[in-house]
Amino acid sequence: MISDKLDELQDYPFWRMNALVEGIPLPDGHDSAIPMWIGEPKHGVPEIARAALSGSFEGYGIYPPIEGTPGLRRTMAGWLNRRYGLPEGLIDPDKAILPVQGTREGLFMIALAAVPREKAGKQPIALLPNPFYQPYKGGAVTSGAEPVFLACPPQSNFLPDLDSLTPEILDRTAIFYLCSPTNPQGTVADLAYYRRAVDLARRHDFLLVSDECYAEIYDRDPPAGVMQICAQDGNLSNVVCFHSLSKRSSVPGLRHGFVAGDPDFLTAFLRLRKYAAASSSMAQYAAAEVLWSDEEHVAENRRLYREKIDIAERSLGNRFGFFRPPGGFFLWLDVGDGIEAAKRLWAEAAVKVLPGRYLAEDNPDGSNDATRYIRVALVNDLESTRTALTRIAATL
């Protein structure tokens, strides 16, 4: 009665973390831990979103179209053009862009549309960075692909080594999940890296899925995007990118993002989504449209995250392998044993972080490249962040 495919999916990282600290009391004087384990922004919902939501109440009285509204699609395409300097016409709002109800569901479901029964006469492969965002594996497993996890060590800028991919693996590949800025490390792919990845996708006929959901949270320089390579070629084939408002606009509960790219693939993806996906409400679409149109609140978000990175640099210095992440809002700290460190920080410092091992797949020999790390999410207000990082430095 229960699919045996689910046996390949471990418990979600946040469940595992809750189980890890269950029964371990917090230190005296603390009723709760400072939450730095989930990437849930806490900068507050922008007022322009509140106004759009409250002004669209009647929209709850109709079934919203899964493909969004024409105005929303034009707005999302316009933002993508401005952000990456794309030429007008590359992203057709009616064919090359679709809203998703949060990128988690889109990143999961896209594999169901991309993975065939066979590739090169064998079980198709899904390439995943390791560590990875868990819905990548969920999509790979449920679509019938064989997940192949690609090491992302510091010496490769925490990105998969494309030179390690053999012709046999590439010929069997149906989908390649790539994330930049990386989660959890915060490094970024440059245009040369994207060029190589796009060329591989087209040469071996697989879908390159570029997860760029942290692209608007950066320290100094705006990260590159895969659509810039498509613009150079005037060609969207074999490539899609994902963007989200959750981090950019601090509205994780709005559940809004979009996927843009190969119009032939997105036609098929929309056909699947009409069967299975949940659409956002008309009110959510209205709020999303105004948020994609505004940059002021995004600049303020970046300022706050940059200030928290400054606090981290002062608190941690050169300890625990600290470096200023070029993108995103996570710290990826080498603490020797991430699970033991997470338990200590809970029990001694009232700070909740996530062990790196919970974000990565074990190697065939049972080792795990993320065992030494913890992921620290800089999502709280400045004072809470300062307190938590001081406690982390003192405890570890």
Predicted confidence (pLDDT) per residue in 322-340, tens digit: 999 999 999 999 999 999 9
Confidence of residue 318 (pLDDT cuts 50, 70, 90): very high
256 phi and psi angles, rounded to 5 deg: -140, 135
Contact 171, 201 (CB under 8 A): no
Model confidence over 66-92: pLDDT tens digits? 999 999 999 999 999 999 999 999 999
The overall pTM is greater than 0.85: yes
Query: In the predicted model, is pLDDT for residue 187 greater than 90?
Result: yes
Percentage of the chain beyond pLDDT 70 is 100
pLDDT above 90 (res 278): no
Mean pLDDT of 35-41: 97
Around Cβ 194, how many Cβ atoms within 10 Å? 23
Cα 12 to Cα 108: distance, rounded to the nearest angstrom: 14
Measure the CA–CA gap between 22 and 211, rounded to whole angstroms. Answer: 33
Which pLDDT value is given to residue 294? 98
Contact 354, 311 (CB under 8 A): no
Tokens representing residue 307 in the block: 């200030």
* pLDDT at residue 152, rounded to an integer: 97
pLDDT at 347: 98
DSSP letter (8 states) at residue 218: B
In this structure, how many other beta carbons lie within 10 angstroms of the beta carbon of residue 338? 25
pLDDT at residue 130, rounded to an integer: 98
Coil vs helix vs strand at 123: coil
User: Chain-wide mean pLDDT for the chain?
Assistant: 97
Bridge partners, residue 242, by sequence: 211, 259
Can you point out the beta strands (E) in the chain?
Answer: 34-35, 97-100, 125-130, 146-151, 173-179, 207-211, 239-244, 257-261, 330-334, 351-352, 354-355, 373-377
Topology at the third CATH level for domain 4-44+297-395? Aspartate Aminotransferase, domain 1 (3.90.1150)
pLDDT band at 319 (very low <50, low <70, confident <90, very high): very high
Is the link from the previous residue into 116 a cis peptide, with omega within 30 of 0?
A: no
Rounded percentage of the chain residues whose pLDDT exceeds 90: 98
Domain boundaries, the chain: 4-44+297-395, 62-294
What distance lies between CA 114 and its chain's CA centroid?
19
Q: For residue 247, is pLDDT > 90?
A: yes
Cα–Cα distance measured from residue 28 to residue 347, given in angstroms and rounded to the nearest whole number: 9
pLDDT of the residue at 277: 85
According to the model, what pLDDT value does residue 184 have? 98
pLDDT digits 0-9 by tens, 168-180: 999 999 999 999 9
Which is it for strands 207-211 and 173-179: parallel, antiparallel or unpaired? parallel
Burial class (CB in 10 A: 0-12, 13-18, 19+), 223: buried
Residues 193-211: what's their mean pLDDT? 98
Are 211 and 178 in contact by the 8 Å Cβ rule? The answer is yes
Asked if CATH classification 3.40.640.10 holds for the domain at 62-294, the reply, yes or no, is yes
Q: Return the structure tokens found at 291.
A: 């948020």
